[in-house]
Amino acid sequence: MLIRLGAIMSLVLLLPACSTGQLVARGAAPLIDNGVTAMNRETDLGLAQASMPANLKMLEALLIADPGNVAYQLQAAMGFYGYTLAFVESANPVRAAGLYRRARAHALIALGDAGMPDAVLTGSTAEFERALAALKQDDVPALFWTASAWGKWIELQLDDPARLAELPRVEAMMQRVLVLDETYYYGGAHLFFGAYYGGRAPMFGGDFARAAKHFDRAAELNHQQLLLVEVYRARYLLRQMGEREAFHAALTRVLETSVANPELNLANAVAKQEAAALLAQEKDLF
């Protein structure tokens, strides 16, 4: 798989910037799709960590040949987001912030194709709200991954007032995702709001009851197969509430749970890794 992708990348880089290069890049779409599927089904985190960077650079090489390819932009956004969440954020938050910004940049190109470019995203409130209201269900992937990466970028820079000032727009974008398709990415917008409302004390805008409802809805939508829901419930909500026993029980269940859906193998392996790390920090967190 990687050998075939490498051969395609070499050919793309040797071709002039013309329609021929675009045809070669677009011809790689089935291999890229299969590569994404294979990565999602991976159970070995070491193998995933070692192979993802090459695949991400492959996508960026294809985008040099075909910069208007929205599907590749979204796959790059998802890939950079997932790689950073799984393997970078806990060890190197500074580097993670840069990679989340990079994921946002890829997703934003796709969102711009849907009628919401960066100038609108960061422009006047009225213009932002008009563009957001005009988005349709087909635009949800671009909207979701832009907001997800943007939110994580902000989370890692909470001491920067400029970043904090952007948070209401991320919230509005995720609210629009809920309206258009709350099921997208296993109820991912509900997972966002569970962390958003659960990770802050009520005096700073947190709402524990609201957070719990979002976590419950996310779990319902993915049939309790996405273990990150319970990891985030523990990390953001139960920790903030001081519920140590519930925190411990939720993370222990994650470690003991087996999920049959192979498309969630990698996500759930990451969830188990984070659950173990949080349990190791339990005494310090409470």
pLDDT per residue over 33-59, tens digit each? 888 899 999 999 999 999 999 999 999
The average pLDDT across 167-186 equals 97
- At which of 33, 67, 101 does a domain end? 67
Cα(22)–Cα(24) distance, integer angstroms: 5
Average pLDDT, the chain: 91
pLDDT above 90 (res 177): yes
Residues 166 and 207 in one domain: no
Which pLDDT band holds residue 186 (cuts at 50, 70, 90)? very high
How far is CA 264 from its chain centroid?
14
The average pLDDT across 245-251 equals 98
Residues 198 and 276 in one domain: yes
In the prediction, which pLDDT does 67 show? Answer: 87
- At which of 175, 195, 217 does a domain end? 175
Residues 11 and 46 in one domain: yes
Those residues with Cβ within 8 angstroms of residue 45's Cβ, 6 or more apart along the chain or in another chain: 86, 87, 266, 269, 270, 273
- At which of 139, 154, 175 does a domain end? 175
Nearest to 145 by CA among 104, 201, 184, 116: 104
Cα(46)–Cα(97) distance, integer angstroms: 22
Residues 22 and 47 in one domain: yes
Nearest to 229 by CA among 204, 202, 193: 193
Q: Which amino acid is at 223?
A: H
Residues 151 and 239 in one domain: no
Range of the domain at 12: 1-67
Q: What is the CATH number of the domain that holds 108?
A: 1.25.40.920
Q: What is the pTM of this model?
A: 0.89
Residues 134 and 214 in one domain: no
pLDDT above 50 (res 9): no
Which pLDDT band holds residue 167 (cuts at 50, 70, 90)? very high
Residues 221 and 242 in one domain: yes
Total domains in the chain come to 3
The average pLDDT across 86-95 equals 96
Residues 21 and 110 in one domain: no
Nearest to 79 by CA among 65, 98, 60: 60
Those residues with Cβ within 8 angstroms of residue 198's Cβ, 6 or more apart along the chain or in another chain: 206, 208, 211, 212, 215, 232, 233, 236, 237, 240
Residues 99 and 59 in one domain: no
pLDDT above 70 (res 126): yes
Cα Dmax for the chain: 61
Query: In sequence order, which ranges of the chain are alpha helices (DSSP H)?
Result: 2-14, 19-27, 29-40, 45-65, 70-87, 93-113, 118-121, 125-134, 140-155, 161-164, 167-181, 184-198, 208-221, 228-232, 239-241, 244-256, 265-280, 282-285
259 Rama sector, left if φ>0, alpha if ψ -120 to 50, beta otherwise: beta
Residues 24 and 107 in one domain: no
The lowest-confidence range among 153-157, 158-162, 166-170, 241-245 is 158-162
Residues 217 and 236 in one domain: yes
Cα(127)–Cα(223) distance, integer angstroms: 38
- Burial track 7-23 (b if 16+ CB lie within 10 A, e otherwise): ebbebbeebeeeeebbe
Residues 19 and 116 in one domain: no
- Classify residue 26 as exposed, middle or buried by CB count within 10 Å of its CB (0-12, 13-18, 19+): middle
